Structure 1
Amino acid sequence: MKWLLLALLMSFLTCFSLHRVPLFHGKSARDILQEKGLLEKFLKDHPYDPCMKFEGACQIGSLESTEPMINYLDLSYFGAISLGNPPQSFTVIFDTGSSNLWVPSIYCSQKPCMIHHRFNPSQSSTFHTNDQYVSIQYGTGSMTGILGYDTLRLSNIVVQGQEFGLSLTEPGGFFSYCKFDGILGMGYPSLAAAGATTVFQNMMSQNLIPESLFSVYLSRTTGATGSEIIFGGVDSSHFTGPINWVPVTHEAYWQIEIQSVTINGQVVACSEGCPAIVDTGTSLLVGPSTPINNIQQGIGATLGYYGQYTINCNDMSSMPDVVFTINGYDFPLPASAYTLEVSCSSGFGITGGNLWILGDVFIREYYSIFDVGNNRVGLAKAI
């Protein structure tokens, strides 16, 4: 069963790492499980409905501008929104690595759409569209559709006339294995496909939030409540010590500069600096193959099945910190942060380009503030 658990985990990691592929070398775990006829049965036998499991987690209309999120296997974090009048409910990833809002629609008859909630325009009295086409390509997965406009509700915020995508196709079956319905992009407007107006742009222009920033806290316990995204504010109960501010170097993704990566005082990556993005839509912390392999060697991880690096969980107390120096500040990741304990595997992965991705492995350790007004990211030690 251990190989099955590891393969299943890798399939989920593929699903929840939207923006860069491949994370690992070799055949994907999803393909391996499909060949063996195991994955679909497992998912059918173990359905996951966050609205049922956590009472109140998918209700709209709290008294604060705080949106709760569900932690699914430490691999994805998603919350509830509604679109239309009367409201139609969906779960979405709040994704800082993209900028479009989209959900499945009744116009899509492919499997990824049919097994999720689908938006029905005819059931909303306020929906309208100009039938503009939109196509969004993620690192793993894609969608095509049309843009529409309707009322968006999340937390206690009501956004009027929000532009969003209604999927017509979700090619390749990728989203069949994802537990969320759609994606709500929190990147910069320049990243939005078809020039769509982002949700956060509308929040600011409609004066719905007190400050032009949002912040993210990701819980460390699988299935736990407590993860949240706050629109227009910061929750100081989720971090300790100072907020260290880092300038955004390119306004598309939330891109910053890593000055170095060290283990036991020795530089193992980014000796001359390297670009990175802070990305809630990616599960792991990923980078180019050579420096990531240096890190794997430095922490004592060993190459195992499916190209994944494994860790002896009994050795975690003696394993070194991996220290990321960013804008003159040190951000250490202890073994407890970079080890995926459900499979005793490494939380570091390989991307196909030169851009590092500080995904959920990093954000769980550091409360993250995305300051649109000042084009900067704030990082503080999460508690």
Structure 2
Amino acid sequence: MKWLGILGLVALSECLVMIPLTKIKTMRETLREKNLLTNFLEKNTDGRSQNVARDPKLSLHPLRNYLDVSVLGGWHSTAPPGTHKVFNPHLSTTFRLPGQPVDLIYGSGRVFGVLGCDTVRIGNLVDVVQPFALIRSQFGMQHAPFDGILGLGYPSLAIRGTTPIFDNLKRRGLISQPVFAFYLSTRKENGSMVMFGGLEPSYHKGELQWIPVSQPHYWQITMSRITMNGLNLGCLHGCQAIVDTGTSFLVGPSRMITIIRRLISARPVGHEYVVTCRYVTRLPTIVFTINGNNYSVPPEAYIRKNLQGVCLSSFAGGTENMSRSETWILGDVFLRLYFSVYDRGNNRVGLAPAV
């Protein structure tokens, strides 16, 4: 039986763990090339994930949609999609199998397996008895180009009774500071970086602006206003925003996203929204006001051109399904523009323009 371990591989620099991230072809692009995208989207929707959220034994991440994940840490496999490097627990003398079943549900699929524990090495840092999920079967993620998922949210998001790897590193004093940071390069291939235990200031311009975490679950903060072309787009009395490298797009309430699509003249084509490429530079900038500072996202950032030369919108709806209050997700479209720091010691997020 093959097992797929949810782990990440990293490299160590002195006093600071820095992991190069490599840009890859996304699962969406792979499915589109094989003419499988429409069928996949019809079978794997956010609504399907919502319908099974009642069982307390399930770990539900309905907005964790890995269709558009385009960076990997450490290394990535050049094997065809659907084949993965696997972890064989029988070859490890330190592996332990608690046997707790694991059922993880994402917006783009679902995985089943069991909980295991083993020694995890990050460079020359050693984290012993680290829990992780061993995946025996999966649905909807067979075309994923990555071998596993490394979660960096708060412990309340972890599988019940387990401690996430970042918390173990912090608790055991293996990192100098309880922070991690992301730099997502706008270059086509290499250049992106994730940092553990500190940050490298050469990756951002100006001073970091710190924002308190409003709810320690996701990396969730309070946002005061969203505007485009001078028009207020929701968030009239303040709203919540989740800063999330695991989400590719800018995600908000469906009603607000519909208004944005009208403002940028995006038209539906299948399950995606298309704009005319030659008009991209004329489209309005969207501005997120957070803790008194404006964070602009120009059209060149929120419109992406696929391999076929079609210009697609990077706005998605659906957050009304995850919270009663107005909630937005600032994904990689936003984070390619702004270097981000996640400070667990002070429960805050730092943002500064990326270099």
- TM-score interval (norm. to shorter): 0.7 to 0.9
* Count of matched residue pairs: 295
Q: Gaps (5+ residues) in structure 1?
A: 1-57, 82-89, 92-111
Q: Deviations over 1:284-319 (max 9, x none)?
A: 111111111222222x23213114222222223222
Output the CA distance in 1 between the equivalents of 2:172 and 2:10: 23
Cα offset for 1:80?
3.4
Contact 1:369 1:378 in 2 (8 A): yes
Cα offset for 1:195?
2.5
Output the CA distance in 2 between the equivalents of 1:61 and 1:231: 9
Q: Deviations over 1:55-75 (max 9, x none)?
A: xxx774555510111112474
Alignment match of 1:187 (pick from 143, 146, 153):
153
Q: Give the corresponding residue for 1:166.
A: 134
SS of corresponding position for 1:293: helix
Alignment match of 1:66 (pick from 18, 36, 58):
18
Cα offset for 1:138?
1.8
Q: Return closer, same or farther for 1:270/1:208 CA change in 2, 3 Å cut-off.
A: same
TM-score, scaled relative to structure 2: 0.77
Contact 1:80 1:154 in 2 (8 A): no
Output the CA distance in 2 between the equivalents of 1:318 and 1:115: 42
Contact 1:69 1:79 in 2 (8 A): yes
Alignment match of 1:325 (pick from 280, 289, 304):
289
Q: Give the corresponding residue for 1:39.
A: none
Contact 2:10 2:122 in 1 (8 A): no
Output the CA distance in 2 between the equivalents of 1:234 and 1:336: 27
Output the CA distance in 1 between the equivalents of 2:126 and 2:293: 38
Output the CA distance in 2 between the equivalents of 1:341 and 1:154: 36
Residues 1:351 and 2:315 aligned together? no
Alignment of structure 1 residues 198-347 onto 2, 5 Å: 198-222=164-188, 224-298=189-263, 300-342=264-306, 343-347=310-314
Output the CA distance in 2 between the equivalents of 1:270 and 1:202: 37
Which is further off, 155-164 or 58-67? 58-67
Output the CA distance in 2 between the equivalents of 1:225 and 1:156: 24
Q: Deviations over 1:209-231 (max 9, x none)?
A: 11111000111133x11111100
Output the CA distance in 2 between the equivalents of 1:369 and 1:154: 20
SS of corresponding position for 2:166: helix
Contact 1:134 1:147 in 2 (8 A): yes
Alignment match of 1:78 (pick from 57, 72, 77):
72
Q: Give the corresponding residue for 1:364.
A: 336
Q: Return closer, same or farther for 1:239/1:60 CA change in 2, 3 Å cut-off.
A: closer
Q: Deviations over 1:101-129 (max 9, x none)?
A: xxxxxxxxxxx9x7212211111121112
Contact 1:216 1:367 in 2 (8 A): yes
TM-score, scaled relative to structure 1: 0.72
SS of corresponding position for 1:202: helix
Give the residue type in structure 1 aligned to 2:279. D
Give the residue type in structure 2 aligned to 1:175. M
Residues 1:122 and 2:90 aligned together? yes
SS of corresponding position for 2:260: helix
SS of corresponding position for 1:184: coil
Contact 1:66 1:155 in 2 (8 A): no
Which of the two has greater helix per residue? 1
Give the residue type in structure 2 aligned to 1:231. F
Q: Give the corresponding residue for 1:197.
A: 163
Contact 1:133 1:194 in 2 (8 A): no
Contact 2:253 2:319 in 1 (8 A): yes
Cα offset for 1:254?
0.7
SS of corresponding position for 1:291: helix
Contact 2:12 2:19 in 1 (8 A): no
Q: Deviations over 1:251-291 (max 9, x none)?
A: 11111122111012221221122212111111111111111
Residues 1:142 and 2:136 aligned together? no
Instruction: Spell out structure 1 runs of 4+ moving beyond 4 A.
Output: 58-64
Output the CA distance in 2 between the equivalents of 1:62 and 1:183: 22
Output the CA distance in 1 between the equivalents of 2:100 and 2:268: 47
Q: Deviations over 1:14-60 (max 9, x none)?
A: xxxxxxxxxxxxxxxxxxxxxxxxxxxxxxxxxxxxxxxxxxxx774
Report percent identity of matched pairs: 41
Output the CA distance in 2 between the equivalents of 1:352 and 1:368: 22
Contact 1:217 1:368 in 2 (8 A): yes
Contact 2:253 2:317 in 1 (8 A): yes
